[in-house]
Amino acid sequence: MMNYHVDILWFVLIFGFHLACSADSEDIVVNTKHGSVRGTTRKAISSDRSVYSFFGIPYARSPDYSFRFFPPDSPWTWDGIVDGTNENAPFCRQDKEKFAKLRKDSWLRFVSEDDQPMRENCLTVNVFSPEHPKKLNPSKQLPVLVWIHGGSLQTSATSNRMWMLSAFEDVILVTVNYRLGVFGFLSLQDKWAPGNTGLHDQVKALHWVRDNIARFGGNPNLVTIVGNSAGAFAVSAHTLSPLSRGLFHRVITMSGAATLPSMWATQQVDTATRIAERATCLFHDNSFTATCLRNHLTSSELINVSRSETFVAEVDGFLFPSSPDELISQGDFSKVPMLIGGAAGEFDFILARKRFPTYPSGKITLDEGKRLIRVDLGKYYSIESQSDIMQSVFDEYLGNSKSSKGIMKGVADYYSDSWFNFPSDHIASKYTDSDVKVYMYKFAPRPSFYKNTDLFPRPFNFERADHTDGVVFLFGFPFLPGLDKKGMTFTEEETHLSRKLMKVLATFAKTGNPATDDVESWPTYPNVAVINKTISFSDNFLQSSKALWKKIISKQNDADELKCDGTKSTCD
């Protein structure tokens, strides 16, 4: 008789367990504004918390063919339940060769697939929440972070494997896919192809967050936008756009700023004309040209005819009423708390291999180093003929360097300042002058996984973090299951650091101040947090080169005025 009761008890327990699991799976459904979506659960190493995960939720209508090159429209409503359980949700269509190069020899390939599906119908978000959607507490809505990925606005995507933050912290993470390259930034500067559509996509995603995130447990009035590299540029640019205003309440930029000259262009119509000519789509009327590019080319054909082109943002009078410098000087930007960060060696490898021809060989001469610096100064700062300041730059960054490693480090330091450090410092200074609370950090340590030289071959080791390395720790990749089996491992010290940095992100998203129990006081700019094994603070960021860069900008302004010749038409 006792055995009978024991058997019944086990049956009830086991059957009840399966029912609970089944019910839990069936109940991970959220009714969004446009239709229902089913999610799944994910776990992180060292966390017993389930993360309710939704992959590939449409935030806008499919932008292919008839909607190609136009700003996004709201998604169609749908009946039934969209399956949001597929972790391998498609990326936005892009040049697969460029994507493969981006992944090569970097940690990015560990969190994306070499055969990753891509399509134009890609305007989707992933949502990761620690709250079960059927057990929400309306009085306890969580802070929301919206992640905008980098990739020079040309390639890459949001990783579908970023749930670790929500496994440890009481925050919701939303990651955004947006149109890239020719799909996201082709411009005829008219209603047929107005340009900046990839940035318009991001604004549309923020509208989706505002209208839907409460259904996942998030607070639509406590949204932090965060991005790395081109994503940081985009996040910074959104602070300048009237269309983005009020859609976010905190800002985190990781290696990027809206004032980066290389991310803006004025001749993109010429780019579109070249593409149309190659595609035999060039007509006397832009409406015909755009229609041909829109309706008569497949995505692969469009990529093929645009492969040699680069697409960036432009001042369009709509998303950006005037130039970043003008908007900043007028104080015309969102005045919300900012956390501005970067890596100690922004041009140590990921970016250097793309821009320095001799880099892979590990050999570089002093003349080549000077040429690389001269090209950048001439292209973006208009001072190629200023021999006095050019020599000052050579002295500052190259000094008496004779070895390839010393010369390459000097070139890398120059480009880091030119592309990241000085633009970020400029934003921090101007926003601080407008009473914005600005906090800064520099991620310094070189990750231990670089010791595996078979997976991560590097011609130089400068013993510091490279571009994007901080993302690995701020978003908890040491706790992503399966990385160790692929050869990407972390030390115990690094896992502790990652936990501290996830806490920093979550605290800033909640309070607008990154100080935590581990870092009780985080002073505002001009102080900079230097992140190593511990977090310390310095008030001499860029001190040695700041005066030089102010002189460069002054010379640039003089050169621009000379080009304008005092007439409005040429200045415009």
Task: Give the whole-angstrom CA distance, residue 501 versus residue 518.
Answer: 10
229 is catalytic: yes
Which one of 334, 426, 467, 545 is the catalytic residue? 467
Helix 404-416 to helix 387-397 angle (10° resolution) is: 120
Which one of 229, 236, 255, 401 is the catalytic residue? 229
What tokens does 544 get?
A: 């040695």
Residues 6+ apart with CB under 8 A from 204: 59, 60, 71, 72, 74, 123
Which one of 309, 314, 346, 396 is the catalytic residue? 346
Helix (H, G, I), strand (E, B) or coil at 118: strand
346 is catalytic: yes
Count the neighbouring beta carbons within 10 Å of the beta carbon of residue 290.
23
* Cβ proximity of 337 and 251 under 8 Å: yes
* Cβ proximity of 237 and 275 under 8 Å: no
Residues 6+ apart with CB under 8 A from 466: 343, 345, 346, 348, 349, 350, 446
Sheet of strand 438-443, all strands in order from the earlier edge strand to the far edge? 40-42, 51-58, 124-129, 172-176, 142-148, 218-228, 250-254, 338-341, 438-443, 528-531, 535-538
- Residue 434 CA: distances (Å) to CA of 240, 337, 437, 443, 474: 14, 11, 9, 26, 28
Long-range contacts of 299-304 (CB under 8 A, 24+ apart): 299/64, 299/93, 299/119, 299/120, 299/183, 302/182, 302/183, 302/275, 303/93, 303/94, 303/95, 303/181, 303/182
467 is catalytic: yes
Residues 6+ apart with CB under 8 A from 286: 188, 190, 192, 193
- Closest Cα partner for 120 from 296, 281, 303? 303
Catalytic residues: 229, 346, 467
